[in-house]
Amino acid sequence: MNEVFKALSDPTRRRILELLKEGNRSAGQIAEAFPIGKPAVSHHLALLKAADLVQSEREGQSIIYSLNTTVFQELLSWVYKLRGTEAEPGNAFGGTHETR
């Protein structure tokens, strides 16, 4: 979980996630969207992958990155615990464990 928060602490990495939200992208396409070099982006992607926030799959010469939304649930749980009100919905219909 520490890796997740560390990964989210950098603005570039958060914008990479927001970009991947729009659709899967190759490492090169992601790099083009930022004013930093490809090695730097590659490094950010490695950190995001280590945190399990993204997945990667080779497709020919390219490597396609995509969001891995499963980890976001853990993140949400952590925030909910702090906030006190234990809503923590898994979907739009209500909580997974109501607290009353």
Partner DNA sequence: TTGTTATTTTGATGTTTGTCGAAATATCGA
Partner DNA sequence: TCGATATTTCGACAAACATCAAAATAACAA
Where along the sequence are the contacts to a copy of itself (CB under 8 A)? 2, 5-6, 8-9, 11, 14, 17-18, 21, 67, 69, 72-73, 75-76, 79-87, 89, 91-95, 98-100
CB of 68 to DNA, least distance (A): 15
Given the rule CB under 7 A, which of 14-22, 24-32, 69-77, 87-95 is the region that contacts DNA?
Answer: 24-32
Work out what residue 2 binds among a copy of itself, DNA, none; the CB cut-off runs from 5 to 8 Å by kind. a copy of itself
Residue closest to 56 by CA, chosen among 24, 34, 29: 24
Which 3-state string (H, E, C) describes 44-87?
HHHHHHHCCCEEEEEECCEEEEEECCHHHHHHHHHHHHHHCCCC
What the block records as the tokens of 76 is 């949400």
